[in-house]
Amino acid sequence: MQCPVDAAQRPTLWRSVDPDEAEDFVRTVHDELPELGPADGRINDVRAEIERTGSYVHTATELTHGARLAWRNASRCIGRLYWRSLVVRDRRDVTDAAGIAAECIEHLRTATNGGRIRPVVTVFPPAAPDGSGPRILGDQLVRYAGYAFAKDVVVGDPSQVEATERARALGWPGGPGTPFDVLPLVVQAAGGRPELFELPADAVLEVPLSHPDLLWFAKLGLWWHAVPAIARMPLEIGGLVYTAAPFSGWYLGTEIGARNLADTDRYDLLPVVAERMGLDTTSDRTMWKDRALVELNVAVLHSFDRAGVTLADHHSESERFLTHLAREEAAGRTCPADWSWIVPPVSGGVTPVFHRYYDDAALTPRFRSASEASTT
């Protein structure tokens, strides 16, 4: 949790934006958007502003293109073919915790779009030169609570036990106690204290999970939310760091079926599904995990399709990623990609992204990793 910065500490923490980094970004924007004209005049203004104040203000065009470039540069994302379609919501004028929470809720409504999920980023004010800035204390805008009752006994999402305890400490009474209780938002305005905000039901679209062939599957009472909205990855553009910039696309089916619901440190549902399927779980050599995993992913794809909610499958998205890669290479640009994230966790070897290596260069603009967020 980020503590407010005491005024006496500001001189030792103060850091001016690197004018060379700002210039590189402005040149990139003008090179890629030739309708803006030559970059020299804008660069002179930016350098003068940094000299005078230690920072500068992005134009609306710079912010929009910078956010889209951050998605284009996200080496762990397989869905970047659509980077130009990113909806950028400029909310740099919203500074209080209640206002930030309200805009996060509107972000979810905009992204959900009645089930036709749209990629969206909402950008709040950047960090000041002293490092202070607004923050959303949670890894996603929508997460399910994890209630720890005893050692190794968790109802809900084990990855969210700490977040659940933080919310309880701030006054959240807890939900009904199901495995899928939606956690409240925790927002911290620059220099302020964390505040709690409930997510209204109409902002969180959820999909009940069923299976096209296994009729008992629906009776497991499984759900998942429709919009994955990353909340704790600061957005870095041209030397400025936007400490609160929630970003969302749509789910890849395997994120839900092969990770969230299947990982042993998450919902760990493979043994449950295997038992209901009547599989022999006495040895890994019976391939029970593999068979249960496939059916779990079949259920996720079937359920989202049945609900009319956008969801990508790993075969189609792998093909689209290689289309994106070819376009970037044709444009003379590096397309960074982390092989361990681009290759899906189900049937990786039968997808085309498996059979090659990638350049995992660190480019800016970018979304910083969660570990870097704690040092912003």
Residues labelled catalytic: 77, 80, 250, 255
User: In the chain, where does DSSP find H-type helix?
Assistant: 10-13, 19-32, 40-53, 60-72, 97-112, 161-169, 253-254, 270-277, 288-307, 314-330, 339-342, 370-373
Beta pairing, strands 185-188 & 135-136? antiparallel
Q: At residue 66, what is the residue type?
A: G
* CA-angle at 127, arms to 131 and 233, nearest 5°: 100
In angstroms, the first-to-last Cα distance of the chain is: 11
Q: Per the structure block, which two tokens stand in for 303?
A: 């359920």
Cα 77 from Cα 249, distance rounded (Å)? 10
Cα 204 from Cα 104, distance rounded (Å)? 11
Residue carrying the six token digits 């065009």? 61
The 3-state DSSP class for residue 93 equals coil
Q: What is the DSSP string of 152-173?
A: TEEEE-GGGHHHHHHHHHTT--
Phi, psi (degrees; rounded to nearest 5) at 160:
-110, 15
